Amino acid sequence: MSAAPAIIVGITGASGAAYGVRLLERLGELGADTHLVVTPSGVINVHHELGLSRDELAAKATHAWPVGDIGACIASGSFGAQAMVVAPCTMKSLAAIAHGFGDNLLTRAADVMLKERRRLVLMVRETPFNLAHLRNMTAVTEMGGVVFPPLPAFYNKPQSIAEMVDDTVERVIELLGVTGATPRRWNGL
């Protein structure tokens, strides 16, 4: 029997906290060992958008690390996390990751994923994009990261926001390499 995959979930202050929370829930259902790190603005936004406290959010993860704990296990490549997702990802966090500013645990863990050539998925949230945003997304992509704006697939005819979130989350879980993801497939017209 293989060990549960260690997946790092970062949550920043961009709109779309539901993606990060639902990822934690689904990864837990699939038996993943989740490591949560949330920026201060992420905590505020999770409370604003979803009504969850810091403790309620942390309870959804296997492990929760303070964003300032640069000595946490997820700050090292030797820890061996399988993958990381930042959901949602602010343009500030994107810029820090694109330029190697490991100035907090979230950006350091993302840097580790890139240097170790492990899967890093950034669910960037901003619109419209300016040239700096686009260049930072290009830089992360060139380093092996996956830029995944959470855009809904309307061809699946979602009936609720929850369905749109779930559809996106399942696609991300598949990208993270976690067994059991159930993204809806396009089978043509």
125 annotated as a binding-site residue: yes
Residue 185 burial by CB count (10 A; 0-12/13-18/19+): exposed, middle or buried? exposed
State residue 1's pLDDT score: 42
State residue 2's pLDDT score: 55
- Pick the closest to residue 43 from 61, 24, 66 (CA basis): 66
90 annotated as a binding-site residue: yes
Q: Decide if 8 contacts 109 (C-beta within 8 A).
A: yes
Residue 16 burial by CB count (10 A; 0-12/13-18/19+): exposed, middle or buried? buried
State residue 189's pLDDT score: 85
State residue 3's pLDDT score: 75
162 annotated as a binding-site residue: no
Q: Which CATH superfamily is domain 6-176 in?
A: Flavin prenyltransferase-like (3.40.50.1950)
155 annotated as a binding-site residue: yes
- Pick the closest to residue 147 from 159, 155, 138 (CA basis): 138
Mean pLDDT by 10 residues, the chain (189 residues): 84 98 98 98 98 98 97 96 98 98 97 98 96 98 98 92 96 97 88
39 annotated as a binding-site residue: yes
- What tokens were used for 78? 């030797």
91 annotated as a binding-site residue: yes
92 annotated as a binding-site residue: yes
Contacts of 19 (CB under 8 A, 6+ apart): 87, 88, 123, 150, 165, 168, 169, 172
19 annotated as a binding-site residue: no
Whether this prediction's pTM lies above 0.75 is answered by yes
41 annotated as a binding-site residue: no
